[in-house]
Amino acid sequence: MLLFDAPYVSEYLIRTAQRLGQPVLDRRDPASVATPAGTIDEAEFARRLGAGERVLANSENSLDLVLRAVPGGELARRIELCKDKARFREATAALYPGYRFCRVRADELDSFDPAGFPKPFVIKPSRGFFSLGVHVVCCDDQWPAAAAALKAERATMNAQYPRSVVDGAEFIVEAVIDGEEYAIDVYYDAQGEPVITNILHHRFASADDVSDRLYYTCTDILRERLGPFSSACRDIGRACGLRDYPMHLEVRVDAAGRLIPIEANPLRFAGWCVADLTAHAWGVNPYECFLTDTRPDWPAILDATDREQPGAVFAMVIGDLPPGVDAAAVKRVDHDGFAAQFDTVLELRRMDHTAYPVFAMAFVRTTLARMDRLTAITEADFAPFITSRA
């Protein structure tokens, strides 16, 4: 079954629910999704969960509902373990000996001594999402400003998302992992075996950039990373006891090829239905894979893509409001101008910038030969696409 909630449910996911006849608990508007199995209420949802039925969410906003439905159960344990970044680090510590991290409560920010922790390090909410409240500290002198920013951001973080998603009460300090960052959509079957439905490379503008502006995939990435990433997911799944469970895993790979997880996001694939890019790129429906316990035939998929679209690159680009722009004062957004930056737009989503600091999300296709143009988007100024009231 499926669990729908804010901030975004795509039409593709809704159509998937309808086609598969999946029961849906829709916390936005129970009448908005018509499926053969119908929408269900919280009581029926809890009954189905208690009977062991699989569930996939589009968002972490409803995690509290799931935890209430199965208090103290195995699913609740898995959710809590993955959602709390410090607990996840503790559960997988034996896999990554020597990796440094520690917990810091909000009331300890002023007293925390950065001199006792190797630099550079990252501090972020133990429960977090969408790069909110993430700061990189490269030297001791930067700590006071980072601590002050975190305290100022706490109210904003919890105003935009429930505390089950982002909570500024406790933070995790952890060593910066040098290397390339990837996002993995994976589910664990009944035996705990991982099934990867997509791998995205997360590109940044600089070493201290923490934005989510650009993710992309191509056949080279899948051919190179699928084997080692599947092995790493298997180790993580065993350490955490994961079965019948979808997850969005973010990792970094250092120069020696060592993979270290950044965070594990429970009960969902890529947020804001970015997992839809899997269908655009590979013709694979990741939601259906989990709900029907099926696996992508990666050798056949990659061979067909190389044959039919040689050198193709598929990307997700977020159009975020420029720093300092007052969302309430925005008069017009030039979505067509934003889309014109890309070779081929597969899907353009016009987002509500008054609710979240994002005005658009684009799924695009380009080629390896034009990657420089795509990666330049990480440093692009989106101000020309925004017209504000005087």
Separation of alpha carbons 48 and 256, rounded Å: 45
Average pLDDT, the chain: 91
Classify domain 180-388 at the CATH topology level.
D-amino Acid Aminotransferase; Chain A, domain 1 (3.30.470)
Return the percentage of the chain with pLDDT > 70, whole number.
93
- For the segment 316-322, the average pLDDT, to the nearest whole number, is 96
pLDDT tens string 174-217? 998 889 999 999 999 999 999 999 999 999 988 777 789 999 99
Q: Is the pTM of this model over 0.95?
A: no
pLDDT tens string 130-158? 456 789 999 999 999 999 988 887 766 65
CB 1 within 8 A of CB 45: yes
- Cα angle, residue 111 at apex, residues 157 and 104 outer, rounded to 5°: 45
Is it the case that residue 163 has pLDDT exceeding 60? Answer: no
- For the segment 267-281, the average pLDDT, to the nearest whole number, is 97
Burial of 214: CB neighbours in 10 Å, binned 0-12, 13-18, 19+ = buried
- For the segment 220-228, the average pLDDT, to the nearest whole number, is 98
pLDDT of residue 206: 83
- For the segment 371-384, the average pLDDT, to the nearest whole number, is 96
Separation of alpha carbons 228 and 167, rounded Å: 33
pLDDT of residue 315: 98
pLDDT of residue 160: 57
Is it the case that residue 278 has pLDDT exceeding 80? Answer: yes
- For the segment 165-177, the average pLDDT, to the nearest whole number, is 78
CB 254 within 8 A of CB 177: yes
Is it the case that residue 337 has pLDDT exceeding 70? Answer: yes
Is it the case that residue 162 has pLDDT exceeding 70? Answer: no
Is it the case that residue 280 has pLDDT exceeding 90? Answer: yes
- For the segment 294-309, the average pLDDT, to the nearest whole number, is 98
pLDDT band, very low/low/confident/very high, at 304 (cuts 50, 70, 90): very high
pLDDT of residue 33: 65
pLDDT of residue 34: 60
- For the segment 238-251, the average pLDDT, to the nearest whole number, is 97
Please state which CATH class domain 96-175 belongs to.
Answer: alpha beta
pLDDT of residue 172: 92
Is it the case that residue 299 has pLDDT exceeding 60? Answer: yes
